[in-house]
Amino acid sequence: MSETVKPPVLQRIDHRTATAVRVIGVVAAIFAFGFLGTRMLDFLRDDDANRLLVVLSAILLGVVGVFVVFWAMDQVVDWLPKKIREGARPYVFVGPAIVILSVFLIYPVINTMLISLRDANGQDFVGADNYRFVFTNHSMLRALRNTAGWVIIVPLIAVSVGLGFATLADRLRRGEAVAKSLIFLPMAISFVGAAVTFRLIYSYRPSGFGTNIGLLNGIWQGLGNEPVAWLSQQPWNNLFLMVIMVWMQTGFAMVVLSSAIKAIPTEIIEAARIDGASEWRIFRYVTVPSILPTIVVVTTYMVINAMKVFDIVFVMGNAETNGTEVVAERMIRWYFISNHDGRAAAIAVVLFLAVIPVMVWNVRKFRQQEAMR
Amino acid sequence: MTLAVVGEQKQPRRRARRGADETVGVTSGGWFVKITIAVVVLIWMVPAVGVLVTSFRTEAVSNRTGWWTMFAHPFRTSEWTLQNYREALGTGGFKSAFLNSLAVAIPSTVIPIVIAAFAAYAFSWMSFRGRHVMFVLVVGLMVVPLQMALIPILRLYTSGASLGGLRVFPDLELNGTFLGIWLAHTGFGLPLATYLLRNYIGSLPSSIIESAQIDGADHFTIFWRLVVPLSVPALAAFAIFQFLWVWNDLLVAYVFLGGTRDTRVITIALANLVGSRGENWYLLTSAAFISMALPLVVFFSLQRYFVRGLTAGSVKG
């Protein structure tokens, strides 16, 4: 894009050399990258290779690779005839995202719906059989009931405790940040890690098989009771598993609600206080109504999360004998352990149908925001 | 709905501390507040402390007595050991699982960010046909449960796909490879990343972009030299969210990488350990703590970004 005036001939030569250099550069880059990439992929599959080297090259390939692809595509666009060049460039920028979304989300959603109408191998058409299974099988009905429990109880407790804690912590003169980060901390760890953590708490040995080293049985025995196998007490064991998710997610509700509470103008609260309103009334009639939109968002998030709970139940094991099945866990059981693609797909579709209202709501809200822009 | 939360985060900090109005009326509840907070924090800490303490006690001791008994005699050194960690990292295979988790999580974080940032730039600052429709699609895909994607993608990975005899997706044998799981995580993280980055990049002042265009910069240069450096806060927030999401994920790794010792990630290794040696607490707790170490470091060192990332990424399929 140089604007200095040169004789036309020179301009042409400049242009030609520039193009030639570019062509050679891009071709060389593509080849080099292709060669290195395939070599690295082979290397990654080599079981005997040094693990650290494998990991480093995996990271290098993944990280540098994408950028090179974008750069090369942009260079290719530069060769297109001027007329269509700038019209094509946006598609180079959004193209990869759209392709990946199509292959990894849009196509699978359609495909899963089709598979849900087919048999175990996904071959023969069986109509609504799989759905009939989902809504009549004993274990599935229990899973649906349990998931409904998760969806109601976990958000309810997590949001209430989070809201209460955020309100009270807001009053602290100091230590608010520390207290909040300690509650928030479980959010950083995995569901599997949290499940192990709580297995230790619920650990059980029948009397005569050694001391109970689980905290809950320790306390229970300290009160003079016989040890209890907490995780097989139906239906309460479901609650014990829900506690894990509450432990993990209360911090999230608390942090988000806390920032909403801090955004309430001080004047309103002070005015209420001068009028003689009690702290409870201020909470009930000023704080809660002002942050209601945030409460709705946080609750929706928790509902979606609780609906898809999988890891906790899966890691705890024996869901069927303990009666702790949940929908997402059933899906993996039917897919991997019973190898019934049709039923697994039908279970997934049930989950999908349940989030469609949220999806519609998101899109509608986005449209409104765009209209206001 | 994500936007609402992000908006809240962006509001200026109204007041750091109540200070002044504390004297106006709230003095009465002081002790009640402090004690309640202390009790809740204590309850929340107990499970994690149990794991941490047990992971440093010898096998025999942790098998014989509850971990809380150590508070009676905390300095009896014969009960403390590092052997648990040595065993977990060595014969337990948690060192290679840790490395595998890194190999999965770092590219699975960077790839979606790069792809989403380019797309977000195009959605914000380039005009093209179908822009609105495509972005509505992105918004809609944000909450799709990833359970919907597992079966078809695994089929693509193991046998490709053909349409009426025509091969539209080659059989790449991606199942069980790092590349396969990177792509899967990229697909699942992309809608959210694109949405968040588009909100951020779209709110950059148009005068900056326009003046760069007048100076003769092309889109690629503007994106790389101007927009990316300006978007670091948003990129960092999403990066942390995605990294922790991938690191802590069990489901996607279980489906696409599986439990073989070469490729299994740390969550899989831990879940397998629960299945095979569910009552060996000295090993389970040290292994669990190894799996939590990195997220906790991220949590403590990058807390502000961490919170921003999590609240921003609160809705994900």
User: Is pLDDT above 70 for A13?
Assistant: no
The kind and range of the H/E element at B166 are strand B166-169
Nearest partner of B197 among B225, B243, B219, B228, judged by Cα:
B228
User: Is pLDDT above 80 for B162?
Assistant: no
Q: Are A251 and A179 in contact (CB under 8 A)?
A: no
Q: Which of residues 346-365 of A touch B (CB under 8 A)?
A: 347-349, 351-352, 355, 358-359, 361-363, 365
Q: What is the pLDDT of residue B29?
A: 57
Which of A117, A165, A180, A200 has the highest number of chain B CBs within 10 A, making it the mutation to test binding with B?
A200
Q: What is the pLDDT of residue A8?
A: 58
Cβ neighbours of B21 in A, within 8 Å: 266, 269-270, 273
User: Is pLDDT above 80 for B23?
Assistant: no
Q: What is the pLDDT of residue B249?
A: 93
Lowest mean pLDDT among A55-59, A253-257, B203-207: A55-59
User: Is pLDDT above 70 for A188?
Assistant: yes
User: Is pLDDT above 50 for A1?
Assistant: no
- Is the Cβ pair A352, B186 closer than 8 Å? no
Domains of chain A listed by start with CATH number: 2-115 (no CATH), 129-372 (1.10.3720.10)
- Is the Cβ pair B11, A191 closer than 8 Å? no
Q: What is the pLDDT of residue B309?
A: 64
What ipTM does the predicted assembly reach? 0.83
pLDDT band at A231, cuts 50/70/90? confident
pLDDT tens-digit profile of A307-356?
A: 999 999 998 878 888 889 999 999 998 998 888 889 999 999 999 999 89
* CA dist A38 → A33, A41, B107, B130, B266 (Å): 8, 5, 17, 35, 27
Quote the pTM value: 0.84
Compute the distance between CA of residue B181 and CA of residue B256 in angstroms, rounded to an integer: 6
Helices (H) and strands (E) in chain A, counts: 18, 0
Residue type, position A300, single letter: T
Q: For chain A, what is the mean pLDDT?
A: 85
Q: Which of residues 70-99 of B touch A (CB under 8 A)?
A: 96, 99
Compute the distance between CA of residue A355 and CA of residue A332 in angstroms, rounded to an integer: 19
User: Is pLDDT above 70 for B315?
Assistant: no
SS3 labels along B264-310: CCHHHHHHHHHHHCCCCHHHHHHHHHHHHHHHHHHHHHCHHHHHHHH
User: Is pLDDT above 90 for A146?
Assistant: yes
> Is A49 within 8 Å of chain B by CB?
no
Q: Which of residues 160-189 of B touch A (CB under 8 A)?
A: 169, 177-179, 182-184, 186-188
Q: What is the pLDDT of residue B219?
A: 87
Q: Are A154 and A240 in contact (CB under 8 A)?
A: no
Average pLDDT of span A63-92: 83
Q: What is the pLDDT of residue B25?
A: 45
| Cβ contacts of A202 within 8 Å, gap of 6 or more | A214, A216, A230, A231, A240
pLDDT band at A43, cuts 50/70/90? low
pLDDT tens-digit profile of B164-179?
A: 566 666 666 677 778 8
Residue indicated by tokens 């929908």: A327
Q: What is the pLDDT of residue A109?
A: 94
Output the six-digit token pair for A274: 């001068």
Q: Which of B34, B103, B179 sits opposite A55 (nearest CB)?
A: B103
pLDDT tens-digit profile of B216-272?
A: 888 888 998 889 988 888 888 888 889 989 999 999 999 988 777 778 899 999 998
Lowest mean pLDDT among A54-68, A270-284, A307-321, A322-336: A54-68
User: Is pLDDT above 80 for B310?
Assistant: no
Compute the distance between CA of residue A265 and CA of residue A24 in angstroms, rounded to an integer: 63
Q: Which of A115, A171, A262 sits opposite B33 (nearest CB)?
A: A171
User: Is pLDDT above 60 for B17?
Assistant: no
How many other C-beta atoms are found inside a 10 Å radius of the C-beta of residue A87?
Answer: 13
- Percent of chain A's residues with pLDDT above 90: 29
Give A18 or B274, the one with higher predicted confidence. B274
Q: What is the pLDDT of residue A12?
A: 60
How many other C-beta atoms are found inside a 10 Å radius of the C-beta of residue A264?
Answer: 16
Q: For chain B, what is the mean pLDDT?
A: 81
Complete DSSP assignment for A128-184: THHHHHHHH-HHHHHHHHHHHHHHHHHHHHHHHHHHHHHHHHTT-SS-HHHHHHHHH
Q: Which of A3, A200, A308 sits opposite B281 (nearest CB)?
A: A200
Q: Which of residues 320-349 of A touch B (CB under 8 A)?
A: 328, 331-332, 335-336, 341, 344-345, 347-349
For β-strands B166-169 and B161-163, DSSP reports them as: antiparallel
